[in-house]
Structure 1
């Protein structure tokens, strides 16, 4: 009995050391935290004022200030992970090791108590619950043979990272009904990215099949944010940057709080800026309001639908108009390159 207790204590101590040692390094501080917080608060305050605005005479000024706040946020480098994440992870690790020791001692290894889930964040708890529900969801789907049950199994498997099960579940659902956007796009993205299979190259045939699945899902459900997100990923993978930006901007419109497209949009803009000086000027000064591809954004109208002459565009850019701020500091070469780009977009929009 004493030997068993000693062995259990050693196991717990070793588990603690192995779990916490990789977490000792702290997260770097965000040097722009104060400015980021100020701009975010300013943006949210201005959005709230615009939503409740009664005096339309104030709208241009409020929209101009909101645009400046958005440009300021876009100009800041990405924030490092929150400093408290390591400490939170340590607490979770301690809780997990302690729970494992308690469950081992009690012999109750077949359940996860509710108080353990309560210590997790909402997203983490949902992942755990999805993983725990997988066996029952799989049995229910295979027993009923119903499309809805296969979709429920596939969703839980995909969200918890059990991608092999997700492929099986979504594949079975599509055999019953081939026009299911969630199953189509998630099968497509799994085929295209091959999570859990690093270093394995995708064949040209598989890549085309994956793209077809994702595009079909976006056609069936264009108003679902995930459809546009995955379509943007796929288009970027095939080098169709303009179309990818359009899809990813639609994702942002459909899901304003979603941040999953940020890195891809940043990478695409960086590629474009290196290849085209006009796009570099546009991305630095215009994209935050008018959208990455000039199709319109949260505050600015579509530049592709504009019918202003070159001289009229020059006057608006240099002097500003309404809610749009002025950009008198642009160099002549930058201004002319930007005007060439806007005229090209106008012709494409005709």
Structure 2
């Protein structure tokens, strides 16, 4: 149950160390499953298991010895075929587990240990909640093949379950980064449909907006992605999962658009990366005239400082951008 779905090959320079760590991991898991929940040794076993997982995670992905495993997923009347492996980790979805040797790591170890029971409960006549519990535990522990099966089962019981929809979508979309086959256009479209449907069903769910933003970046839609990721930040002010992606989008935009370069340098820290508001008000909701916009930029207003250095073509470009955003609205 816990053995990896990837195998070391003679071309794997880490084969010996990988095999040793995997054997140690499985031995520790076996001791934890067999031991008393209150045993004095349990915290030390959990700590050692977490260290072993961390060491495995630090190794480069093992070379693939063959084709990935095919798994069919049912989504109501839509057939979703995906080839998924557990080699590597999600590129756009940060690994919430193994971030440090703390209580969170012990929780991850416990989640992995609980997977067999959750799986059995779901497959032995479980309802939607049982499949979701299995899927969430598998997703959080990086057991993405199990997560796909579990979320597929949840969707068979409720085709409008947003968490199952978006997580299946992101797993399909990021399949190549986990060592699977190249993503076909058909599967790419299916992934987008799953994620967008989840956003429609749960627009105020932070993860919906996060995954939508990541998906839009993959399709080269930076402006729309930035809007979704800023929305994620609003819904989850403590969330940091989108920071690197937002920074990369801004850098790309600033290189190609002089107005966005001026905006990023002088306005984005208060009004948001795409004018949707932050510390300062939304510029997209503004109804100011062109003359009023330029007056406030030059002279400031209220808590907003003046920017007398923004003149000439820079001021014209920035004003054009702000008027464009007013026309687009929120």
Q: How does 1:1-80 map to 2 (within 5 A)?
A: none
The answer as to 2:329 corresponding to 1:329 is no
What is the rounded CA distance, in whole Å, between the counterparts of 2:304 and 2:150 in structure 1? 50
Instruction: Please give the alpha-carbon distance, in whole angstroms, between the structure 1 residues aligned to 2:31 and 2:254.
Output: 58
Q: TM-score if structure 1 supplies the norm length?
A: 0.67
Please state if 1:279 is matched with 2:260.
yes
Matches within 5 A, 1:114-263: 114-117=43-46, 120-194=101-175, 197-198=178-179, 200-263=181-244
Structure 1 residue 187: Cα displacement:
0.2
The corresponding residue for 1:47 is none
Pairing partner for 2:320 from 340, 343, 350? 340
Change over 3 Å in CA distance of 1:329–1:235 after alignment to 2: same
> Can you give the 5+ residue segments of structure 1 that lack an aligned partner in the other structure?
1-17, 20-95
Tell me how far 1:108 sits from its aligned partner: 4.4
Contact kept, 8 Å, 1:163 with 1:195, in 2: the verdict is: no
- Correspondence for 2:270: 289
Of 313-322 and 184-193, more deviation after overlay is shown by 313-322
- In structure 2, C-alpha distance between the alignment counterparts of 1:129 and 1:110, rounded to whole Å: 10
Q: 3-state SS of the aligned residue for 1:292?
A: coil
1:115 positional shift: 3.9
Q: Is the 8 A contact 2:121 2:130 kept in 1?
A: yes
- The alpha-carbon deviation at position 126 of structure 1 amounts to 2.0
Q: Which residue of 2 aligns with 1:318?
A: 298
In the alignment, is the contact (CA less than 8 A) between 2:32 and 2:45 conserved in 1? no
CA distance in 2, matches of 1:157, 1:117: 18
- Once residues 155 and 114 of structure 1 are traced to their aligned partners in structure 2, the CA distance between those partners, rounded to angstroms, is 24
* Matched residue SS, 2:178: coil
CA deviation after TM superposition for structure 1 residue 347, in Å = 2.4
Of the structure 1 ranges 281-290 and 184-193, higher mean CA displacement relative to structure 2 is found in 281-290
Counterpart residue number, 2:69 = none
Q: Provide structure 2 residue ranges, at least 5 long, that are not aligned to the other structure.
A: 1-16, 36-41, 49-100
What is the aligned counterpart of 2:288 among 304, 308, 318? 308
Contact 2:276 2:283 in 1 (8 A): yes
Q: Quote the Cα distance in structure 2 between the aligned partners of 1:136 and 1:196.
A: 29
Q: State the 1:223 CA deviation.
A: 1.4
Contact 1:278–1:337 (CA under 8 A) maintained in structure 2: yes
Q: Per-residue CA shift, 1:19-43, capped at 9, x if unaligned?
A: 9xxxxxxxxxxxxxxxxxxxxxxxx
> RMSD of the alignment, in Å?
2.8
Tell me which of 249, 268, 281 is aligned to 2:249.
268
Q: Quick check: which one's helix share is greater?
A: 1
Structure 1 contact 137–152 (Cα < 8 Å) conserved: yes
**Shift of residue 125, structure 1, vs aligned partner:** 1.9
- Structure number, greater radius of gyration: 1
Residue 259 of structure 1 and its aligned partner are, at CA, apart by 0.6
Say if 2:284 and 2:322, in contact at 8 Å, map to a contact too: yes
TM-score, normalisation: structure 2: 0.71
Partners of 2:328 and 2:176 in 1: how far apart? Answer: 38
Q: Distance in 1 between matches of 2:286 and 2:241?
A: 30
- What is the CA–CA distance in structure 1 between the aligned matches of 2:226 and 2:197, rounded to whole Å? 18
Aligned residues: 254
Name the SS for the 1:263 alignment partner.
helix
What's the offset of the Cα at 1:345? 1.6
Q: What is the CA deviation profile of residues 60-113 of structure 1, one whole-angstrom value per residue up to 9, with x for unaligned ones?
A: xxxxxxxxxxxxxxxxxxxxxxxxxxxxxxxxxxxx99xx69x78xx9474471
SS at match of 1:144: coil
Runs of 4+, deviation exceeding 6 Å:
none
Structure 1 Cα separation of the partners of residues 234 and 329 of structure 2: 21
